[in-house]
């Protein structure tokens, strides 16, 4: 009976391994050479739903826990408990997001009387955190001044004990009526995190998430606008794919029939009296992603430019061998 049980569990273990075993890669990644990079600070964003992808043994000085958000009523919600992540000696910052232009206007414009309460709620939510990170990426143009005064008010309310950082999009220059004027924002916070990624995005043509030439232009502007001690250059760990043809959509009757003719549909079935069809076609998928080699090259670009602090979106998405090449300056 003992032998039977052992054989059974070995068999089950083999099945589990067989089901999860990945096919062997036919491609080869470039291996980095040279010395590891060294920075004073590393700001790593961690999803509150994926805290297990982070380890306190990683060379990270500042963990940005993503995120608390703002609901339809302008209230702070979905606040993660500080207790869900052990950051060891690293500081932990609560990230606040607002993913709607209308909501951003609603909470930033002081006429609506929500701003004071939101600031009060952010301060209360950050009680157990080392700091707060503001990541408002959809601010209407008319609220550019409201955003700056909001940052000033939040800075004052947090006091000098809490760290205060702000995420801003990549820029090559100060835009006309710029919603994110680097210099002004820097005057109210301890760190400015430049999201130097999404050079190409889901609806653009295929291309790198952030290449060296593009990032160099961001550096050239950033160092003129943000003090070195406050500047954090964001680096992407992720990649994207694009397909050359999209077959999803809503169609006229004539359009649906044209598609069926072009793709040689020879059968229509009626499901609950609604006509439906299926066809198979070929698409070409193009992907750009980041591995140890590409991320390390961006780090070396920033290191050579004298940047002292970098950060990553998002921990868990990286080539795990990268951490062997990244050091924190003692």
pLDDT in tens, the chain (330 residues): 443 333 433 334 434 544 556 789 999 999 999 999 999 999 999 999 999 999 999 999 999 999 999 999 999 999 999 999 999 999 999 999 999 999 999 999 999 999 999 999 999 999 999 999 999 999 999 999 999 999 999 999 999 999 999 999 999 999 999 999 999 999 999 999 999 999 999 999 999 999 999 999 999 999 999 999 999 999 999 999 999 998 889 999 999 999 999 999 999 999 999 999 999 999 999 999 999 999 999 999 999 999 999 999 999 999 999 999 999 998
pLDDT attached to residue 20:
59
Task: Establish whether 282 is a catalytic residue.
Answer: no
Q: Of the listed 41, 75, 137, 303, which one is catalytic?
A: 137
pLDDT attached to residue 247:
87
113 CB-contact burial (10 Å; exposed 0-12 / middle 13-18 / buried 19+)? exposed
Calpha distance 13→17 (Å, rounded): 6
pTM of the model: 0.91
pLDDT attached to residue 75:
96
Which string of b and e fits 58-92 if b means at least 16 CB within 10 Å? bebbbbbbbbbbbeeebebeebbebeebebeebbb
CATH superfamily of 30-243+288-328: Glycosidases (3.20.20.80)
Domain spans of the chain?
30-243+288-328, 252-282
């Amino acid at each position: 009976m003992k032998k039977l049980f052992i054989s059974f569990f070995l068999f089950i273990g083999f099945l589990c391994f067989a089901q999860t075993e990945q096919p062997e890669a036919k491609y080869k990644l470039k291996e980095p050479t040279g010395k590891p990079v060294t920075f004073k600070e590393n700001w790593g964003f961690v999803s509150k739903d994926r805290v297990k992808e982070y380890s306190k043994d990683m060379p990270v000085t500042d963990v940005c826990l993503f995120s608390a958000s703002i609901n339809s009523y302008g209230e702070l919600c979905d606040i993660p408990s500080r207790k869900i992540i052990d950051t060891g000696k690293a500081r932990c910052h609560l990230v606040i997001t607002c993913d709607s232009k209308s909501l951003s206007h609603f909470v930033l414009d002081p006429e609506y009387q929500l701003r004071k309460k939101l600031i009060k709620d952010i301060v209360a939510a950050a009680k157990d955190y080392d700091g707060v990170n503001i990541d408002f990426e959809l601010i209407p143009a008319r609220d550019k001044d409201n955003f700056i005064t909001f940052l000033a008010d939040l800075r004052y309310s947090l006091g000098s004990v809490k760290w205060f950082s702000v995420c801003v999009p990549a820029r090559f220059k100060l835009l006309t009526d710029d919603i994110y004027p680097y210099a002004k924002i820097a005057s109210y916070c301890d760190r400015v995190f430049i999201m130097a990624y999404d050079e190409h995005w889901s609806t653009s043509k295929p291309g790198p998430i952030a290449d060296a030439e593009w990032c160099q232009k961001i550096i050239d502007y950033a160092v003129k606008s943000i003090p070195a001690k406050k500047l954090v250059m964001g680096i992407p760990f992720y990649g994207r794919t694009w397909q050359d043809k999209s077959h999803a959509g809503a169609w006229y009757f004539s359009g649906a029939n044209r598609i069926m003719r072009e793709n040689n549909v020879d059968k229509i079935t009626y499901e609950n009296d609604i006509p439906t069809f299926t066809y198979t076609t070929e698409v070409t998928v193009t992907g750009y992603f980041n591995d140890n080699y590409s991320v390390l090259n961006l780090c070396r670009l920033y290191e050579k430019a004298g940047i002292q602090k970098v950060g990553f979106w998002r921990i868990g998405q990286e080539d795990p061998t990268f951490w062997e090449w990244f050091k924190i300056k003692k």
